Structure 1
Amino acid sequence: MATKTSLPDVEKEAHFDYAHLSNNVVQDFSWENITVTVKDRETKQPKEILSGVNGLVQAGEMLALMGPSGSGKTTLLNVLAHRKATPSGAIERAIHLNGSSTDLQTFQKLSSYVEQEDALVGSLTVRETLHFAAQLSLPSWVTKFQRIARINALLEAFGLRGQSEALIGTPIRKGISGGQKRRVSVASQLITSPKILFLDEPTSGLDSAASFEVINFIKIIAKRNGIIVIASIHQPSTATFELFDRLLLLSQGKVAYNGAVSNVKDYFANLGLHMPLYVNPAEFIIQLVNTDFSNDQGKADEQLLNIQNAWSRSNDAAVIAHAMRDLSSRPPTNLKDQIPSTRLTSANPLFIPLTLIHRAFIKSYRDVVAYGIRIAMYMGLAIMMGTVWLRLDTDQTNINAFTNAIFFGGAFMSFMAVAYIPAFLEDRQLFVKERQNGLYGPTSFMVANFIIGIPYLFIITILFSVIAYWLGNFRPSAEGFWIWVMWLFLDLLAAESLVVLLSSLVPIFVVALAATAFANGLWMSVNGFMVPPGSLNVFWRYVFHYIDYQGYVFRGMMVNEFGKRTYSCGDGCNCMYVSELQDQCRIDGKAVLASYGYDTQNVGKYVGYMLVIILGYRLLGWLVLYLKRT
């Protein structure tokens, strides 16, 4: 797609140099003898999924990593990007920039990685997506004017100017097309002017026209700014395939070809493997090295071995080896010495949580799935509860009904926090992507996640309480109402913190849902309503009851309702609970509390316990995110 203004022109007008990190800083990116060994599941013996892979890419070139499924291309891409390649296994690698090794921090500042799945916030616009990418990644010395200039330049360069105010799109609200989403994903990673760009299946899910469009935009940017692009790609169209400068073809973890795309046809023809006319060259070479569906497995394995051996003995392989020897013979260079110190700084860590809160706030009020549906659910529950326990009289026959209502309100409000799981898993996916790109860590994410939830949970608490509390005729006083609100609010904070912990531990929706439901069932069973605390089995009481946040909520609400209220004994004055008011034909609510072993003292201590439990869940969630990198 043609653009009216070129990227350098826009940046020049803004007095901003896109290549502030000089084009000469990273001249080449090379790797030698990359080998990844894992334990075979069946034989339990060591198995190489990558074996002795060498490669070299120059500034401004695009390299395609191709091969059949299971050939090792994604593993190689992750190894090159300094990411976790396999859950377990030994990795041998020698990776160099300009012929010299560099530390991880510097490498992350020089590179960006675009995931196969678009980890975008669907309720943000295209411009907002780039804005928050800039806020999270650019150092503080970049002025607001320069950030806007960089965003405008990327919108122009990727043909997204016309869609800048369009939403990315959610399951409920239609947004931009798949090809445009991929362009936004790439543009958001180019916001930091990286010199190496890794793309994991950038055309996945796109048709041939959209695939060509995305790769063509990337090629223009790469050539113009000397960016090295390394992309794993499955089976591109002929037009898309020819956009790449180099091809690294893998099969069964070994190199079958590593050279110019323009030489592919002649190279395999010299091996006696002639490409028919009008055949997609990408499909042709993939079929050559794919032995999975061969009718004659022995013949296919023999042909693949011949192709791999031919490459290792080829002049092209020798040229690459010679070039890498030349690079290694250079005097060692320290890239940090060539890069302005401001380029190696990150965004101000004090402002990152504020940026995450701002982004989450926009998402939460635009995306009804995050909190809108939850508010509707809680409102429905409040109406149901208020009309079932409608205007209960203060008669002893209703004491059990009041007690049941207190349990139901606290327990089911907690249980319905499972509705937050999908929204959190989406936020976590984005966090993992941005963390792996070195933008921020679990502390900023957890702080922002907690703070953004507070106002929404408080709104939910107020809306629920206004309906359920007064319809149910609980203790009719402002004090009683606000104490109820406090306990319910703490209940929701604890429930959502539990969701965050379990969803961080097992980030799979069905499993997280099951684990959260089980945990809530456990807390309901031991909170003191089903079985009074004094009658609980010793194991359940001492192992779970005292860490059960629902138990403290139930206790606090019971004290709030019965601690300052009396109930009539009805006709005949046959009081169900013995109290000092029996001679007045009434029951002091404290007698009801005594039957559960509760008193009206130490309520503040129970509030403290709730805060400790909430903090504990959040700290454990932080620890899980800290230890888990994916």
Structure 2
Amino acid sequence: MLTNLVILSDGHLVYFGAASSALNHFFTLGYVCPTYSNPAEYFVHLVNKDFHSQLGLDPFVRALEDSSEPQRFRVEIARDRCLGDMNLINYDLLRAMRPSRLDQFSVLLHRNLTNNWRHPGVFWLRVLMYMLLSFMVGTMYLSSNREITSSAMVPLLFYVQAFLVFMSVAALPALLEQRAVLEREVRSHALHLASYTTANLLGALPGITFISLLASIIVVYFARIHSFWSFLLNLTLSLVTSESMMHLLGAAVPHYIMGIALGAGLFGMFMLCEGFMVPFAAIPTYWKWGYYLAFHTYSFESFMYEHFSQVNTQEAWDLLKSYGMENVNVSRNMLILVGYAAVLQLAGIAVLFVRFGRHKR
């Protein structure tokens, strides 16, 4: 598996050369690797001073200096220096060792899509949960049920928007698994943080879109929610924003349990402040900042307005007025969700840079 082998012990070079020649080199020194033994383990045991405190390394060092392999390398180095630095540059190898950000992005995107497809906890379990909950919600608010009034539809819109977003915390364990690989690659100068973050987000988009499409079809069909395409766009952007929040928490916290706790706390706060439990006009002044901070606010307002404005009855408009949502700019709210997700992604890059980018070895 290895072409070349370097063995160091206590700061001294014990072997440097072809891996296939290592056994013969130590054999000439009188050390024979036992049959059925792993040569690598044998070499480590042979020269590691942790196993032999009185081990003398001089015989190994002198034997290496007197062998032909180091002499050959010295001749090659001297010859290459005479040829000049430009002839030493292997541009194909350089491109392979330091790929462009676009190449990094392409590889990472392919890796993320493959992992999301194969990992049941990242994608398929979430699809199943969203389908079951959407089916339950849709059949609970079945359009043929004449007992369901317009005011009873408000909790449906709140639940679809708030709880489906809340379930995004399920993505955190997988994000924390990826971060260990990210740290190694960044510290090795092999990866740019922008490529990683963008690939992470775009790699999650197909799954988020598929989940939103399934949930929208089920809920809109069974409960007869108005404006399917607006519902789908709103739910998709809400899930993208919540996924971006998980990316930020995944970059900041040391353990996924802490991330889940923080994410649940933030989403719980946003649910309280979004204007469903307490309408905006009744929210105490000292908590109104939470109303504007919560991205749930812009999603819930849009769900409410798109549905009840198309019901277009006096009861529906009175309901919107009671929540202070009779004049909602849905397009503006969708742009706010896009901007919210972008800010969270940039914050995630900043956190990763502070943690890993500044301390490259």
Q: Into which bin does the TM-score normalised by the smaller protein fall?
A: 0.7 to 0.9
Instruction: State whether residues 60 and 222 of structure 1, in contact with CA within 8 Å, keep that contact through their aligned partners in structure 2.
Output: no
1:96-151 CA distances to partner (integer Å, 9 max, x unpaired)? xxxxxxxxxxxxxxxxxxxxxxxxxxxxxxxxxxxxxxxxxxxxxxxxxxxxxxxx
Which structure exhibits the higher relative contact order, with contacts defined as CA atoms closer than 8 Å and separated by 6 or more residues? 2
Establish whether residue 439 from structure 1 lines up as the match of residue 186 from structure 2. Answer: no
- The amino acid that maps onto 2:209 is F
Higher strand share: 1
Establish whether residue 243 from structure 1 lines up as the match of residue 43 from structure 2. Answer: yes
Q: Distance in 2 between matches of 1:348 and 1:443?
A: 12
Post-superposition offset of 1:620: 0.7
Q: Distance in 1 between matches of 2:183 and 2:308?
A: 48
- The amino acid that maps onto 2:269 is L
Q: Distance in 2 between matches of 1:352 and 1:249?
A: 41
Q: 1:616 aligns with which of 331, 339, 343?
A: 343
Post-superposition offset of 1:601: 4.3
Change beyond 3 A, Cα 1:457–1:259: farther
Q: Distance in 2 between matches of 1:562 and 1:262?
A: 88
Instruction: State whether residues 446 and 622 of structure 1, in contact with CA within 8 Å, keep that contact through their aligned partners in structure 2.
Output: yes
Post-superposition offset of 1:243: 2.0
**What RMSD over aligned residues (CA atoms) do the two structures have, in Å?**
3.4
Q: Distance in 2 between matches of 1:598 and 1:541?
A: 16
- The amino acid that maps onto 2:126 is R
Post-superposition offset of 1:516: 0.9
Change beyond 3 A, Cα 1:551–1:389: same
Q: 2:89 aligns with which of 332, 336, 340?
A: 340
Residue of structure 2 equivalent to 1:525: 272
Q: Distance in 1 between matches of 2:89 and 2:291?
A: 58
Give runs of aligned pairs for residues 371-386 of structure 1, distance below 5 A: 371-386=123-138
Instruction: State whether residues 393 and 473 of structure 1, in contact with CA within 8 Å, keep that contact through their aligned partners in structure 2.
Output: no
Give runs of aligned pairs for residues 494-513 of structure 1, distance below 5 A: 494-513=241-260
Q: Distance in 2 between matches of 1:511 and 1:495?
A: 17
Residue of structure 2 equivalent to 1:604: 331
Q: Distance in 1 between matches of 2:286 and 2:215?
A: 35
Tell me the TM-score normalized by structure 1.
0.46
Residue of structure 1 equivalent to 2:309: 563
Instruction: State whether residues 242 and 261 of structure 1, in contact with CA within 8 Å, keep that contact through their aligned partners in structure 2.
Output: no
Which sections of structure 2, spanning at least 5 residues, go unmatched?
Answer: 24-36, 61-80
Post-superposition offset of 1:221: 6.6
1:241-275 CA distances to partner (integer Å, 9 max, x unpaired)? 4322532539xxxx966754999xxxxxxxxxxxx
Instruction: State whether residues 247 and 261 of structure 1, in contact with CA within 8 Å, keep that contact through their aligned partners in structure 2.
Output: no
Give runs of aligned pairs for residues 130-529 of structure 1, distance below 5 A: 220=19, 223=22, 241-244=41-44, 246-249=47-50, 260=57, 339-340=88-89, 342=91, 343-345=93-95, 346-391=98-143, 398-475=149-226, 480-529=227-276
Which segments of structure 1 move beyond 4 Å, counting only runs of 4 or more?
27-30, 221-224, 237-241, 255-259, 335-339, 392-395
Change beyond 3 A, Cα 1:496–1:220: same
SS at match of 1:390: coil
Instruction: State whether residues 279 and 323 of structure 2, in contact with CA within 8 Å, keep that contact through their aligned partners in structure 1.
Output: yes
Change beyond 3 A, Cα 1:356–1:238: closer
Instruction: State whether residues 301 and 328 of structure 2, in contact with CA within 8 Å, keep that contact through their aligned partners in structure 1.
Output: no
Instruction: State whether residues 387 and 472 of structure 1, in contact with CA within 8 Å, keep that contact through their aligned partners in structure 2.
Output: yes
Post-superposition offset of 1:336: 7.7
Tell me the TM-score normalized by structure 2.
0.78
Q: Distance in 1 between matches of 2:179 and 2:144?
A: 44
Residue of structure 1 equivalent to 2:12: 56
Higher helix share: 2
1:187-217 CA distances to partner (integer Å, 9 max, x unpaired)? xxxxxxxxxxxxxxxxxxxxxxxxxxxxxxx
Residue of structure 2 equivalent to 1:552: 298
Residue of structure 2 equivalent to 1:203: none
Q: Distance in 1 between matches of 2:20 and 2:251?
A: 37
Post-superposition offset of 1:536: 1.2
Change beyond 3 A, Cα 1:404–1:336: farther
- The amino acid that maps onto 1:440 is L
Residue of structure 2 equivalent to 1:34: none
Q: Distance in 2 between matches of 1:473 and 1:411?
A: 19
Q: Distance in 1 between matches of 2:224 and 2:151?
A: 14
Residue of structure 2 equivalent to 1:626: 353
Post-superposition offset of 1:619: 0.7
SS at match of 1:347: coil
Post-superposition offset of 1:338: 9.0
Instruction: State whether residues 249 and 257 of structure 1, in contact with CA within 8 Å, keep that contact through their aligned partners in structure 2.
Output: no
Change beyond 3 A, Cα 1:529–1:247: same
1:412-446 CA distances to partner (integer Å, 9 max, x unpaired)? 11011111112211222221222222211211110
- The share of aligned pairs that are identical, in percent, is 25
Instruction: State whether residues 494 and 614 of structure 1, in contact with CA within 8 Å, keep that contact through their aligned partners in structure 2.
Output: yes
1:158-198 CA distances to partner (integer Å, 9 max, x unpaired)? xxxxxxxxxxxxxxxxxxxxxxxxxxxxxxxxxxxxxxxxx
Post-superposition offset of 1:507: 3.3
Post-superposition offset of 1:222: 9.1
SS at match of 1:242: helix
Change beyond 3 A, Cα 1:384–1:434: same
